[in-house]
Chains A and B, each alone.
Chain A
Amino acid sequence: MTEIAGKAVELGGIVKRFGAVTAVHRMDLSIEEGSFVTLLGPSGCGKTTTLRMIAGLLDPSEGDITIKGKSVTRTPIHKRNLGIVFQNYALFPHKTIYDNVAFGLKYRKQSQSEIDAKVRQALDLVQLPDLSHRYPRELSGGQQQRIALARAIVIEPDVLLLDEPLSALDANLREDMRVELKRIQAQVGITTIFVTHDQSEALAMSDRIVVMSKGHIEQIGAPEDVYVNPASAFVARFLGNSNLVAGDIVSRSASDVNVTIGGLGGLKVPLGRSRDMADGERAMVVVRAERLYLDQSEAETPADAVSLPAEITAVDYQGQAARYFVSVCGHQMQAINPIETHPYRQGDKVRAVIRGRDCALVPFEASA
């Protein structure tokens, strides 16, 4: 979504406590009209709690929720005009597909002909126009998923909330539905909040990703931004395969930060990926597994890179690529490299090449 309209949803200092446990700590978030925003994090990070508070299924302990400029913190769920798709679809088992989709329209005082037209339109949108007289149990998981989506968007909600809607599907179907869901969202142009613990879903579908951990927001940004330029060691580890090694910031130029990694040498990391850290500070250097190049040739090392002796300790063969576990000067690292002819074997001696411009710096974390 390129057009920037108002804010569809705003969370102001949202806190949710369950007894002595705080599930969400003072969270601020604003979501633009028409955008697809993903709340991403491991289980227990507070993403579902946040979604349920926006939905009105939970009351925040503190803070204010605004939808389209109106505070809804005290508005009961049935007056919020939201579309929710549940993890298990939650289709009404005793109602036909038609009645399931028409359910929300019945409570919006619409004429029968309007309801008919909108239900047909919604079923066309999810490409299941011929199932209206069936019962949910007669549908496959993927079909139920689409009907749940049709039921949620047919009421033209202000916001569409998706609570891990793909996790009950099998792997192939999940990828198809991912594309499908994004297509429908773009076509309808509805503001969408998507909750998932699956990083690839988040990266593929979102306009913006909100990475959460332990009830806090770790980072908010576009998928590429979050992936390439993580704000913390947590984000770097949660998205993709990353190697994190401690280093010291030595100096900086107009464009780069010079950092030395114990035993590995010096790297020039682009200034834009250094999180405003001061000289002399300790930092974690993030090296993506797919940017740790393994090489057995005697090719010359590029100027901005370090080349280190390494040994393959384990191989995870994946077909077009392989994930190697390598010991680089005593550091255990992972490298995902495409396979030219044959994969390397356990025990092979290789050179690990790390380029400074592929790295990012995040604040130091002792446990890494």
Chain B
Amino acid sequence: MSDQAYTARPWILLSPALGAVTFLLAVPVLFIIIYSFWLRSAAGAEIPGFFLDNWKEVFSDAFYRDILFSTLRIAVITTVFCALLGYVPAYFVAMSQTQFKALLLLLLILPFWISYIIRTMSWINILGASGALNRTLIYFGLIAEPVQFLYNEGAVILGLVHFLLPFMVLNVFVSIDGIDRNLLDASRSLGASGFQSFREVTLPLSLPGLAAGGLLCFVLSAGTYITPLILGGPRDAMFANLVFEAIITQLNWPLGSALSIVLLVVLGAIVTVYNRLAGLGQIAKSFG
């Protein structure tokens, strides 16, 4: 094989992946960036060119900033709940001696077979004015009138946790499952109790999974628009709802593009900083 062919080989092998990334990711993003500098005339036509009007609006209007902050707040709260609620089942499935581990994991993934929208809407049947919870409470005489559980921030967070929990559980499961059981035996033999061994060995060694699951939950909840649309009230819009609103309702593609770039950049920056802080690479290194 000639030298030239040899140097070309990695590129040939990479070309399918590079092609996919270029045409499915880089080019569309580039389109969106270009779009964000266009303008939408009052008549509804798009004017190509280089206008900063959309960007001026996005950065000057406090409305966008407030929604961005509340989106990030909801994403953080959702992530924390997912971590707290997801760690426990992940731990027990990973640590269980049962031969049905695979089945337990399958049960965990089962909800993915039902559309996310349907799963989110199911909360209406549970928490709605004539939903299961209200009916039960009225039946037992605990309340006289139905309570409004839905259409607030709490319901949005509940829906997001419901949607994202499996992502957390799977990530944490993988990292706990990968911990050498001898490490726990070693820790116990050196005098640490079961809980102390968890704190000293299992928890730190499962942090990469927790960090990865956390990142996934955060990014997915920060970018959601279905959940607030179905379970949130008019004041619970999240940032992606603004993009949806601009593009689908107002047909203002340039503004929608600018907004979505803002979300992309903010999330990208957070992920980068988070990666540094959580030291994902550093933790991975300790496993040689």
Chain A residues within CB distance 8 Å of chain B: 55-57, 76-84, 86-88, 90-94, 103-104, 107-108, 135, 137, 151-152, 155
> Least Cβ distance of A155 to chain B in Å?
6
At the interface, yes or no: B85 with Cβ under 8 Å from chain A? no
- Identity of the chain B residue whose Cβ is nearest the Cβ of A148 in the assembled complex: B186
The 17 listed contacts between A and B (C-beta, < 8 Å) are A55-B189, A56-B189, A77-B188, A83-B189, A88-B182, A90-B180, A90-B185, A92-B186, A92-B187, A93-B286, A103-B192, A104-B191, A107-B196, A108-B191, A151-B186, A151-B190, A152-B189
Q: Which of B189, B193, B287 has the most CB of A within 10 A?
A: B189
- Identity of the chain B residue whose Cβ is nearest the Cβ of A85 in the assembled complex: B186
Q: Which residues of B contact A104 (CB under 8 A)?
A: 190-191
CA distance A107 to B190 in the complex (A): 8
Q: Which residues of B contact A56 (CB under 8 A)?
A: 188-189
At the interface, yes or no: B234 with Cβ under 8 Å from chain A? no
CA distance A56 to B193 in the complex (A): 13
CA distance A88 to B190 in the complex (A): 16
Question: Given A86-B185, A92-B183 in contact, is the A155-B283 Cβ separation under 8 Å?
Answer: no
Once the chains bind, are A103 and B187 in contact (CB under 8 Å)?
yes
Question: Given A137-B286, A137-B288 in contact, is the A90-B183 Cβ separation under 8 Å?
Answer: yes
At the interface, yes or no: B280 with Cβ under 8 Å from chain A? no
CA distance A152 to B186 in the complex (A): 9
- Identity of the chain B residue whose Cβ is nearest the Cβ of A55 in the assembled complex: B189
Question: Given A93-B286, A93-B287, A94-B204 in contact, is the A78-B183 Cβ separation under 8 Å?
Answer: no
Q: Is the interface of B mostly helix, strand, loop or mixed?
A: helix
Q: How large is the interface on B (under 10, 10 to 19, 20 to 34, 35 or more residues)?
A: 20 to 34
Contact with A along B179-217 (1 / 0, CB 8 A): 010110111111111001000110011000000000000
At the interface, yes or no: B56 with Cβ under 8 Å from chain A? no
- Identity of the chain B residue whose Cβ is nearest the Cβ of A138 in the assembled complex: B288
At the interface, yes or no: B235 with Cβ under 8 Å from chain A? no
Q: Which residues of A contact B205 (CB under 8 A)?
A: 93-94
Q: Which residues of A contact B201 (CB under 8 A)?
A: 92
- Identity of the chain B residue whose Cβ is nearest the Cβ of A86 in the assembled complex: B182
Question: Given A107-B196, A137-B286, A137-B287 in contact, is the A155-B191 Cβ separation under 8 Å?
Answer: yes
Q: Which residues of A contact B183 (CB under 8 A)?
A: 90, 92-93
Once the chains bind, are A103 and B288 in contact (CB under 8 Å)?
no
> Least Cβ distance of A119 to chain B in Å?
13
Instruction: Point out the residue from A55, A94, A107 that lies within 8 Å of B191, measured CB to CB.
Output: A107
Q: Which residues of A contact B189 (CB under 8 A)?
A: 55-57, 77-78, 80, 82-84, 152
Once the chains bind, are A84 and B288 in contact (CB under 8 Å)?
no
CA distance A78 to B185 in the complex (A): 9
Q: Which residues of B contact A155 (CB under 8 A)?
A: 190-191
> Least Cβ distance of B283 to chain A in Å?
7
Instruction: Point out the residue from B193, B204, B287 that lies within 8 Å of A78, measured CB to CB.
Output: B193
> Least Cβ distance of A51 to chain B in Å?
12
Once the chains bind, are A94 and B193 in contact (CB under 8 Å)?
no
Q: Which residues of B contact A83 (CB under 8 A)?
A: 189
> Least Cβ distance of A226 to chain B in Å?
29
Question: Given A94-B205, A103-B187, A137-B287 in contact, is the A78-B192 Cβ separation under 8 Å?
Answer: yes
Question: Given A84-B185, A86-B182, A137-B287 in contact, is the A103-B204 Cβ separation under 8 Å?
Answer: no
Q: Which of B182, B190, B288 has the most CB of A within 10 A?
A: B190
Contact with A along B251-286 (1 / 0, CB 8 A): 000000000000000000000000000000001011
- Identity of the chain B residue whose Cβ is nearest the Cβ of A102 in the assembled complex: B190
> Least Cβ distance of B36 to chain A in Å?
44
Contact with A along B131-146 (1 / 0, CB 8 A): 0000000000000000
Once the chains bind, are A78 and B186 in contact (CB under 8 Å)?
no
Q: Which residues of A contact B190 (CB under 8 A)?
A: 78, 103-104, 107, 151, 155
Additional 13 contacts, C-beta under 8 A, given A78-B192, A83-B189, A137-B285: A55-B185, A77-B185, A78-B189, A84-B185, A86-B182, A86-B185, A90-B180, A92-B187, A92-B201, A93-B286, A107-B191, A108-B191, A137-B286
Instruction: Point out the residue from B180, B185, B285, B288 that lies within 8 Å of A57, measured CB to CB.
Output: B185
CA distance A107 to B201 in the complex (A): 14
Q: Which residues of B contact A82 (CB under 8 A)?
A: 189
Q: Which residues of B contact A152 (CB under 8 A)?
A: 189
Q: Which residues of A contact B287 (CB under 8 A)?
A: 93, 137
CA distance A135 to B204 in the complex (A): 15
> Least Cβ distance of B65 to chain A in Å?
40
> Least Cβ distance of A149 to chain B in Å?
12
CA distance A67 to B195 in the complex (A): 25
- Identity of the chain A residue whose Cβ is nearest the Cβ of B196 in the assembled complex: A107
> Least Cβ distance of B191 to chain A in Å?
4
Contact with A along B108-119 (1 / 0, CB 8 A): 000000000000
> Least Cβ distance of A159 to chain B in Å?
11
CA distance A76 to B189 in the complex (A): 9
CA distance A91 to B182 in the complex (A): 9
Once the chains bind, are B286 and A135 in contact (CB under 8 Å)?
yes
Question: Given A78-B193, A86-B182, A88-B180 in contact, is the A94-B188 Cβ separation under 8 Å?
Answer: no
Q: Which of A78, A82, A135 has the most CB of B within 10 A?
A: A78
> Least Cβ distance of B67 to chain A in Å?
40
> Least Cβ distance of B279 to chain A in Å?
11
CA distance A81 to B201 in the complex (A): 19
Once the chains bind, are A93 and B191 in contact (CB under 8 Å)?
no
CA distance A78 to B188 in the complex (A): 5
Q: Which residues of B contact A84 (CB under 8 A)?
A: 185-186, 189
Q: Which residues of A contact B186 (CB under 8 A)?
A: 84, 86, 90-92, 151
Q: Which residues of B contact A91 (CB under 8 A)?
A: 186
CB-contacts of B107-163 with A (<8 A): none
CA distance A90 to B283 in the complex (A): 17
> Least Cβ distance of A80 to chain B in Å?
8
Q: Which residues of A contact B191 (CB under 8 A)?
A: 78-79, 81, 104, 107-108, 155
